[in-house]
Amino acid sequence: MGTGLNPSYFIGLSAALFAIGMYGALSKKNIISVLISIELMLCAVNINLVAFNKFLTPDAFLGQIFAIFIITVAAAEVGLGLALIIAISRRRETNNLDDLDWLRW
Amino acid sequence: MKTQEMLINVGPQHPSTHGVFRVVLTLDGETVVKANSVPGYLHRGIEKILESRTYPQVLPYTDRLDYLAGLLMNWGYVNAMEELMDTEVPERAEHIRVIMGELQRIASHLVATAAYSGDVGGLTGFIYCFRDREDIMDMIEMVSGARLTPSYMRIGGVAADLPDGFLEKCQKFIDYLPTAIEEYNGLITGNEIFQHRTKKVAPITAERAINMSLSGPILRASGVNYDLRKARPYSIYDRFEFDVPLGSNGDCFDRFYLRVLEMTESARIIRQALDKLPDGPINAKVPKIIKPAVGEAYAEIESSKGIMGVYVVSDGSTKPYRIHFRRPSFINLGHFDELIQGWKIADVIAILGSFDIVLGEVDC
Amino acid sequence: MSEWVGVALFIVAGLAFGIVGIGVSFLVHPRSKNRYKLETYECGIPAEGSAWGRFRTQYFTFALIFVIFDVEVIYLFPWAVSFVQLGLAGLIKMFIFIFILVLGLWYAWKEGALEWK
Amino acid sequence: MENIFVNAAGGIRNLLESAGLPSLVVDISIMTTIFVAILVFVLLNVLWLVYMERKVSAYIQCRIGPNRVGPMGIFQTIADTVKLISKEIIIPKNTNKKLFLLAPVMIFMPPMAVFAVTPFGKGMVALDLNIGVYYFVALASLSTVVIWMAGWTSNNKYSLLGSMRVVAQMVSYEVPLLLSIVGVVLLTGTMNLTGIITAQQSVWMIFLQPVAFLIYLIAAVAETNRTPFDLVEGESEIITGPFTEYSGMGFAFFFLAEYANVLLVSMLASILFLGGWLAPFGLTFIPSWIWLLLKVYLVIFLLMWFRWTYPRTRIDQMMAFCWKVLVPLAIVNIFVTGIGKYLYESVRW
Amino acid sequence: MENVYELIAFILLGGMVLGSALLVVTLKNLVHSVLSLIVTFIAVAGIFLLLNADFLAAVQVLVYAGGVCIMVVFAVMLVQRTDMEESNPVNWRFGFATLLGGGIFILIGLFAARSQWMLTGTEVPKDTVGTFAPILLTEFVIPFEVAAILLTVALTGALLLVKEVKANGDGS
Amino acid sequence: MFGKGLLKGLKITIGRFFGKKSTVQYPEERLPLPDRFYGKPDFHYDKCIACNLCVNACPNKVIKLGTETVEKKKVVTGYHFDQQYCLFCGLCEEACPTDAIKFTKDFELTTYDRDTIGIEFVKQGQIDKKIKEVKQAAAEKAAAAEKAAAEKAAAETKSQTEEADKAETTNKEGGA
Amino acid sequence: MEITGGDNNSCDQQPNEEMIDETTKRLKRLGAEPAVIGEVTRVVSVGPLEKILNLGRANSFWPLGFGLACCAIEGLMTSNTARFDLSRFGYEVMRASPRQADLMLVCGTVTKKAAPFVVRLYEQMPDPKYVIAMGSCAISGGPFVDSYNVVPGVDQLIPVDVYLPGCPPRPDATIHAFMKLKEKILNLEVVKK
Ligand code: SF4
Ligand code: SF4
Ligand code: SF4
């Protein structure tokens, strides 16, 4: 294994992606964009996991298997999240996060 | 959830509206909630033009009404004129009319079949039907000199006698037709995809059909046995033996298949007419300059699209005072808006196709 | 690694192909302006209403079911590849897995989510 | 004949290496050569396919088809392409210009990326990936996005409706497609395309997996949007679907990409089910790449034959067919294959 | 030699990831955001390739770029009432979000840069899929089955949520 | 069984694929056209008797017949057939008593210019010739008539006053 | 009874100046002004290149699938069917959208109600575009020239390249018209003669 690319590069990338996702998740008004940003964050996590897999446990495949589970969970999460948004927007004429301050609908 | 409704224009320039017909659809998702048909893009003012034409000159214009069944349109007009003038048409002429009229009916039904096949996406069926229609076109061209707009009939008879070789050709075609129909049945009618698309789509009940004054194959597809050729025979139809095919469900498939069945019946009639074809004159004695007495007449024939009625008012001059056509497609189309409600866009095309409209006739 | 460089090359080339095609066309094609050319086409009459209608949920429903099954397939492929190695145990585990998902499909079917409205 | 292309590539490599170039440069130049060869191959095939479709449709319809432009009319598609290049590209107002142009530019990317891993004959594969099949399907699925983009940016009702429909359709049919492939992978135990072909040495997959083949074929027809599932181009309903607003070269790319995709799915079909380049009946004197081509064209002819025979289905029936018939069938197929394979393996033990 | 090219690939792909991710959170039009999200995912798949995870890369493309993004797009079309322009605004937490995001980046970055990695030096096996499938179905069998349950539950739940309201909801 | 119809369709189309093609390759091969075909009109100047029947029969006033009365005889000086308004119905042909207007089988009427669609059949030369002929004929006729009249008159006078006006008759004959 | 209106005894039917003026005015009211023919510009314009491109154009007209009346049956449908087979020349690709069409086959009566959309469709076609006026109606209003609702010739609205008289013209005649148009594109000199 060469020394050209070490995990730091990937972790740096993943951190940047995570930060961007975090920024999006916090600063967006539209719920869907918040969801998208969360996807970005999950993606960042995946990069991390796969990087660890490659550099730390290449034969145990822990990282990759975890990544697969995360992808599964993310898919389920997006599906449910979007369904929720659709359900909400059906009742309230909004998809602006700040307007969703009621507890009951 | 309340989905936003979407307005969609089907037509005027649209590949499957059979011309320049326009329907404004209000869609909810893909389901039609409201339909608003806008005809009139081909309104040529024929009825008005005809007021300035002499009686024989009216004839070529009738061709341009239902241009898929020009001869039948001719026939409707000459029928009305003969009623107005009390003319007796010679036997031979009547027989020729029947032969040509039924050939034209087959041609028209072939186009309907073809167009319907094309509408649901089967382009090969389209071409096959047109291929066989060419034979009829040849025959029509042979007798009249034009393929689509023959202007062949004349008040009191027909323009010219059947040319040499016509009878053999016609006989040959009649013998060939069953093979062709079998082919259509194999390719189009029997196809499961086609059946799934058309069966149980937009059924019209018999009662509704009568109330909406539908006529022709659309009416009979709903199970109403009303064919002018049987119900009130005009010309010499009472001498022929034929059945009136009837549908049972009145859905798109029945409307389509009925036309295929009617082709066979028409072939039967032609065969009998060919056998019985008498010799004799082909024209009644009509004055050179036609000047009917003051009066009016209304006559109907069963055209390929339904009942074609012609109403002529004469003021005693050489030109009609008023001519009005009862155009079957136009009246059948009256039920369209209501019928397509609740069906999907794809069905709209199938339903419109099963109506077999001709815009020349709808817009007149 | 280098094999992936090849894939990248192919992708870039596919893109370049498109760009060159459109670019050449832009150079040689004639152009003119008139009243209606840039208007939205709507069967030859002025466009009515907006194209931005909202749609029925069916589109979303199908996409959702697709994603779920897509994810299922992720598991199926590795299983299929090492089927021999996994033997009966693997077979049974996978059948349970698929069975649970088929339950979901069955539910969707029953709920009418598979109908296109 | 057999190794003509392989030898040519080797020759070029030797030539370059003897010129003393660094190995990576050699690699990349070989890659470029292969790439150019594949590009030319694909383009020629696509042009030929357009012509062939017109000819086949004509013959089925008792017509003759193009026969004026060039001998037998084979330059017809070239004339069409030249004309399309010379047509104005209209960018309607109210659209996002960049995206509107990006869609046709990108439509060739997924098929090109997939052709990189397709074996064209024995030893004739640019890249032999371990996960070939999966990669194949994954990248091919990206066309969906591009088509959707085209429909969406056009800002036209027919386009939008059409693109929503086509995406729903393509996405749905991807599931049975993938599931039918699982059956094959199960039997061969590899996802490598070359591996799958060599695993069919004794018997072609079509005989072991007839149901999967059928499912694959139907799904492939749907994926490439051809009759009876051609709702994108469902002319009689939504004009030309997502491409309504595209003119000139923009349209040409979509038009050609359709045929590139046809080539792709037929290629995959012959690799997965028809034994790829393997010669049947020991007819090995015919080179492997010719065999592959023959099989591919057999599948393509089949697709064309379907197209010119059947009417179009309705979208609701199509979706129901996918989810209520094909997917359950494919799952059952996997079950049966799994059990069968297990029994076979355990008996052999 | 090899490493240099890997580095170049990394920089290109990383640039693509970050650039398109930035576009995702800054573009005004939500659909454009989603489209650039697709680019991000594809670029991330490229990163996975760099990390010898070819199967994961394909999964990333198939599931994320081809599936999830389509789903998001459909949801957007369903939900968006008004004009698509300006459909992706930022809210008042804008400053706070920037700070937090930046902070996290700097923190992790620092840690990552300072870490001493204990590299094993072994290679990832060539046949990734064939190697990890057995692990997946033996050691991870419980999460594996749970994944199935999760997917089914997500499917049923989501279907329940988006079920069309009958009768009164649809009319006029 | 489901699928039977599908297979049958396939059988039909593959049969057609190998079957006979029904295309007539137009520019080289041509379909035989019936004698009654209405294509490009043809006008026989010499046959026309300028009776105006065709003009009156035409529903759309396509034909413009120009006549000139030369020596009390109608001469056709123009026969403009404006094809762009024609219905190709053949009523004019039917009306014509002398078959002067006839339709040929030529259907390739395409032009680049709208003005050239209408056909003027009558050429100036023809008119001149005709007028000349008519005049000549008229002259001859007049002469003949005169002659006849003269002869008749002569005969009459002869019979009436055969002997009485003998001298006058000789005078007249000498003058002619 | 007396006949009123529709007096058609004047033999002169070619639309004279007055008629044209009147028509244009009425059409304007309907929103169908004659097509605006924008100035055609090119980025690159080289003679030989243009020749090659013209070769392509002339061998592949994709007609706009757009039928108005009777002539459409002959011109658009029958000429595509087995016996006549326009596809031999590669002209059979009917496009439903004007964006992909090169040729507008005006087959049928252009009424005043239809005029606006005919113009619109023409203008929405990409350059270069061609028009064939097929049938008496499209050329001049034909049988219906004295109707109140018919445009006396589609060349009042859009520039026509080739006129094909007939009512309706035979499908073979349509093919002939296509070939004439091809000739025109390949060799403009032919036309000027
Ligand atoms: S064919 Fe008919 S329309 Fe034409 S000139 Fe003769 S009578 Fe008139
Ligand atoms: S009817 Fe015949 S003879 Fe009389 S004017 Fe016409 S062409 Fe001449
Ligand atoms: S020219 Fe004749 S056939 Fe053509 S549309 Fe007009 S009336 Fe119909």
The candidate with the shortest Cα–Cα distance to B362, out of B117, B68, B75, B152, is B68
List of domains in chain C:
2-110 (1.20.58.1610)
E144 and E129 housed in the same domain: no
pLDDT at B175 over 80: yes
The candidate with the shortest Cα–Cα distance to F107, out of F58, F27, F174, F39, is F39
Q: How far is the CA of D157 from the centre of ligand 1 (A)?
A: 46
Whether ligand 3 lies within 6 angstroms of the CB of G72 is answered as no
Residue D341 in any domain: the answer is yes
pLDDT at B285 over 70: yes
pLDDT at F175 over 80: no
Distance CA(D332)–CA(D342), nearest Å, equals: 15
DSSP state of F2: T
Distance CA(B222)–CA(B354), nearest Å, equals: 13
Ligand 1 pocket residues where CB is under 6 Å: F 57-60, 62-63, 86-92
DSSP F54-95: HHHH-TT--EEEEEEEETTEEEEEEEEE-GGG-----HHHHH
The whole domain housing E161 covers: 140-172
Record the tokens describing residue F118, joined without a space: 């209408």
Number of H helices, E strands in chain B: 15, 8
How far is residue E52 CA from its own chain's centroid? Answer: 18
Check B5 against C53: CB less than 8 A apart: yes
Check E78 against C97: CB less than 8 A apart: no
**How many Å lie between the alpha carbon of E93 and the closest alpha carbon of chain A?**
5
Distance CA(A89)–CA(A85), nearest Å, equals: 6
Gyration radius (Cα) of chain F, Å = 31
Residue D111 in any domain: the answer is yes
Record the tokens describing residue C44, joined without a space: 């030859």
Q: Mean pLDDT, chain B, as a whole number?
A: 87
Average pLDDT over residues B69-91: 89
What is the number of structural domains in chain D?
Answer: 1
Per residue in A51-81, pLDDT (tens digit) is 888 877 777 778 888 888 888 888 888 888 8
**How many Å lie between the alpha carbon of B98 and the closest alpha carbon of chain C?**
41
pLDDT at F105 over 80: yes
Nearest CA in chain C to A74: C71
Whether ligand 3 lies within 6 angstroms of the CB of G137 is answered as yes
E123 and E161 housed in the same domain: no
CATH of domain F32-164: 3.30.70.3270
Distance CA(E105)–CA(A13), nearest Å, equals: 9
Name the percent of chain D lying above pLDDT 90: 4
List the subunits that have 3+ CB pairs under 8 angstroms with E: A, B, C, D
Distance CA(B91)–CA(B363), nearest Å, equals: 35
**How many Å lie between the alpha carbon of C74 and the closest alpha carbon of chain D?**
9
E107 and E66 housed in the same domain: yes
Q: Give the per-residue pLDDT at B298.
A: 92
Q: Give the per-residue pLDDT at D320.
A: 87
The candidate with the shortest Cα–Cα distance to D229, out of D324, D328, D319, is D319
CA of F87, closest atom in ligand 1? 3
Q: Give the per-residue pLDDT at B202.
A: 87
Distance CA(F16)–CA(G82), nearest Å, equals: 12
For chain A, give every domain's residue range.
7-98
Distance CA(A25)–CA(A18), nearest Å, equals: 10
Contact B339, B208 (CB under 8 A): no
Q: How many Cβ atoms from other residues are within 10 Å of residue F19's Cβ? A: 13
- 3 state DSSP class of B246: coil
Per residue in D208-250, pLDDT (tens digit) is 888 999 999 999 888 888 878 877 666 556 677 788 888 888 8
Per residue in G5-24, pLDDT (tens digit) is 333 333 344 455 666 666 66
Q: Mean pLDDT, chain G, as a whole number?
A: 79
Check D82 against G55: CB less than 8 A apart: yes
Q: Identify the nearest ligand to the CA of F101 by its number.
A: 2
Q: How far is the CA of C110 from the centre of ligand 3 (A)?
A: 55
Using a CB-CB distance cutoff of 8 angstroms, which residues of chain G are in contact with residue B48?
Answer: 5-6, 147-148
Q: Give the per-residue pLDDT at B311.
A: 92
| Amino acid in the structure at residue D295 | K
What is the number of structural domains in chain E?
Answer: 2
Nearest CA in chain E to A6: E117
For chain F, give every domain's residue range.
32-164
Q: Is G175 left (phi over 0), alpha (psi -120 to 50) or beta?
A: alpha
Q: Give the per-residue pLDDT at B17.
A: 66
Residue B105: band (very low, low, confident or very high) from pLDDT cuts 50, 70, 90? very high
Using a CB-CB distance cutoff of 8 angstroms, which residues of chain D are in contact with residue G95?
Answer: 240
Q: Is B301 left (phi over 0), alpha (psi -120 to 50) or beta?
A: beta
Q: Which fold has domain A7-98?
A: Helix Hairpins (1.10.287)
pLDDT at C45 over 80: no
Judged on CB neighbours under 10 Å (0-12, 13-18, 19+), B56 is: buried
Helix (H) or strand (E) holding C13, with range, is helix C2-28
Buried (b) or exposed (e) across B306-344, using 16+ Cβ within 10 A?
bbbbbbbbbbeebbbbbbbbbbbbbbbbebbeebbeebb
Residue E166: band (very low, low, confident or very high) from pLDDT cuts 50, 70, 90? very low
E17 and E94 housed in the same domain: yes
| Amino acid in the structure at residue D331 | I
Nearest CA in chain A to E154: A76
| Amino acid in the structure at residue B229 | R
Residue D144 in any domain: the answer is yes
Q: Give the per-residue pLDDT at B313.
A: 92
Contact F10, D309 (CB under 8 A): yes
The whole domain housing D259 covers: 90-347
Q: Mean pLDDT, chain E, as a whole number?
A: 78
Per residue in D139-151, pLDDT (tens digit) is 888 888 888 888 8
- The pTM score is 0.88
Distance CA(F103)–CA(F88), nearest Å, equals: 9
Whether ligand 2 lies within 6 angstroms of the CB of F134 is answered as no
Alpha carbon nearest to ligand 2 atom 4, residue: F51
Name the percent of chain C lying above pLDDT 90: 0
Residue A1: band (very low, low, confident or very high) from pLDDT cuts 50, 70, 90? very low
**Are G and D neighbours with ≥3 CB pairs closer than 8 A?**
yes
Check C67 against A78: CB less than 8 A apart: yes
CA distances (Å), origin G188, targets G47, G176, G178, G184? 13, 17, 15, 5
Residue B104: band (very low, low, confident or very high) from pLDDT cuts 50, 70, 90? very high
CB < 8 Å from D in window 14-53 of F? 14, 16-23, 25
Tell me the H-state helices in chain E. 2-26, 30-50, 54-59, 69-79, 94-114, 128-138, 141-162
Check G170 against B147: CB less than 8 A apart: yes
Distance CA(B101)–CA(B266), nearest Å, equals: 9
E163 and E110 housed in the same domain: no
Distance CA(D150)–CA(D160), nearest Å, equals: 9
- Strand bridging mode G130-134 / G103-107: parallel
- 3 state DSSP class of C42: coil
Alpha carbon nearest to ligand 3 atom 6, residue: G137
Whether ligand 2 lies within 6 angstroms of the CB of F98 is answered as yes
CB < 8 Å from B in window 280-319 of D? 308-317
Query: Sign of torsion, CA E58 E61 E66 E69?
Result: positive
Q: How far is the CA of F59 from the centre of ligand 1 (A)?
A: 7
ipTM value for the complex: 0.86
